[in-house]
Structure 1
């Protein structure tokens, strides 16, 4: 299966590398530094104490999706529409498209541009960019994808590449569950610049996270989404499973990049406003990350 990855960041590189190592022809589309590094050396994947070199094609051009049977979209949520518009002219009519992005509405936004179905996916992987074209896997790696004519086949393809994949008939609830986890961790991790384990041990942090989860549940319920009863336990358990992990929001701020906070806590705040709900914990975290982004901008 010919695969193209639009967005050669940490997540895109990880899944692209896993599929390439399984023998699939993979084309990575990313920024110049990453494309140059990958064109020469492939994707360098540090995983389970070993170094793997995944052979890939690499380019900065959106035409890299041409002839791909499967296109993985892994750009930042702010870049979703622009990326879709860039690659749309080059997509095959029968290409399958999968959104590997944070947030809950990226598949819908992609569908609005492409005029065809896009499969949403909840991504559970701890991975970070070490250098151009080089990523380190820190844990997990599974996917939950929505239903569609190609979903079962894609799940088998991913599983054969070492990517555990489930197909869910209620992927909206899965995406909202992941959104809630992100809302509880990402901003706080970025504000404190502490990994998950030490972060949750700070006095008062667990209580703030609990408030965030309760607010997300209320907003999801208003939107017709039912979240798992044990969600608080799931959220708090992540720190024990990944004590050394930094959130993507924290990593973005470390690199002085714009974060995806508008599509995490910001999405919850905007959706809450539609239903007349109050979400003070999410609103405060959103404002704090905006302040940090502005401070980075002013000192750039």
Structure 2
């Protein structure tokens, strides 16, 4: 089975390293200095205090790799639509695309049934680029729980976690997703096939859509946010609004708002991924994590006044931080 990891940065590099170490036929798509370092020196994985150097096949040109059985996209959500068309050589044989990307997935309304079936989400797929060039029928869902970074080009620092929850958008299982689960499991990853991947999407999204933007606006860690009455009130209100949306879409939340809030705060002195991107001057994943939830609110006729206010502020902060306004 041929597997391509598209966007082999922190999470994708970790995934690619684990697959390569297990002997899988895996290729990585990356760019810039990170790509050049992997070509020259191999991919170095720092995990558990040990450094392992793994020879990998890496390129920035999908046409070099040919058709794949599975393409796993591990990019930032806003980086995926512009490259959707370039995946054509990888998908020529009818392979599946697994979207291991944060936030609301662009395929969310495929296979959901009811009046919202087939609805597009502009915040994560402007111009329907992924819907058109990848196609929801070719897509698998994935929710990732991995802490990783790229401290230097060609180097992946693994801080913990190895979960890649997999799911068919229409639910249930299939030979293609079972094969992918088996390949990831053989690489030492926790990759179960979930009966309803949307439940897992919301479990992670619930915390990300609230903690992440507030942390980016304040510069606070998760522990600091949880300890501050004002910030905690804003986060709680955002969670309540999001829960109302999710429940209208058939999602059953496994814990209460207050339990989820407390769980986020217990993570400790951790900077959210959105805050980390802000501090590095990178565009933040606002569209998939926050703006898309606004769209789901409109689709379900659910008011989102607090989410709307925070989205407006963090969007402006992102524009000024990256010099786009």
Q: Same fold (TM over 0.5)?
A: yes
For residue 322 of structure 2, give the secondary structure of its aligned residue in structure 1.
helix
Task: Please tell me whether residue 194 in structure 1 is matched to residue 220 in structure 2.
Answer: yes
Whether the aligned pair in 2 keeps the contact of 1:111 and 1:117 (CA below 8 Å) is no
Query: What is the correspondence of 1:30-109 to structure 2 with a 5 Å cutoff?
Result: 30-107=30-107
- Corresponding residue number in structure 2 for 1:125: 146
Distance 1:91 1:134 in 2: 28
- Corresponding residue number in structure 2 for 1:263: 288
Higher mean Cα deviation, 230-239 or 243-252? Answer: 230-239
For residue 28 of structure 1, give the secondary structure of its aligned residue in structure 2.
strand
Distance 1:174 1:232 in 2: 19
Q: How many residues align?
A: 299
Distance 1:130 1:56 in 2: 19
Query: What is the correspondence of 1:201-240 to structure 2 with a 5 Å cutoff?
Result: 201-230=227-256, 232-240=258-266
For residue 165 of structure 1, give the secondary structure of its aligned residue in structure 2.
coil
TM-score with structure 2 setting the length: 0.84
Whether the aligned pair in 1 keeps the contact of 2:4 and 2:29 (CA below 8 Å) is yes
1:243 to 238, 245, 268: 268
Distance 2:257 2:163 in 1: 19
CA spacing shift, 1:170–1:158, aligned 2, 3 Å: same
CA spacing shift, 1:60–1:201, aligned 2, 3 Å: same
User: Deviation string for 1:189-235 (max 9, x for gaps)?
Assistant: 22222332233223322222221211111111223333324454244
For residue 3 of structure 1, give the secondary structure of its aligned residue in structure 2.
strand
2:308 to 280, 283, 293: 283
For residue 228 of structure 2, give the secondary structure of its aligned residue in structure 1.
coil
User: Deviation string for 1:81-134 (max 9, x for gaps)?
Assistant: 322211113424242321110122234664542344211101111222212222
Distance 1:164 1:194 in 2: 31
Question: How far off is 1:29 after superposition?
Answer: 0.8
TM-score with structure 1 setting the length: 0.90
Whether the aligned pair in 2 keeps the contact of 1:138 and 1:245 (CA below 8 Å) is no
Residue segments in structure 2 that go unaligned for 5+ positions in a row: 109-124, 168-172
CA spacing shift, 1:228–1:112, aligned 2, 3 Å: farther
Question: How far off is 1:65 after superposition?
Answer: 4.3
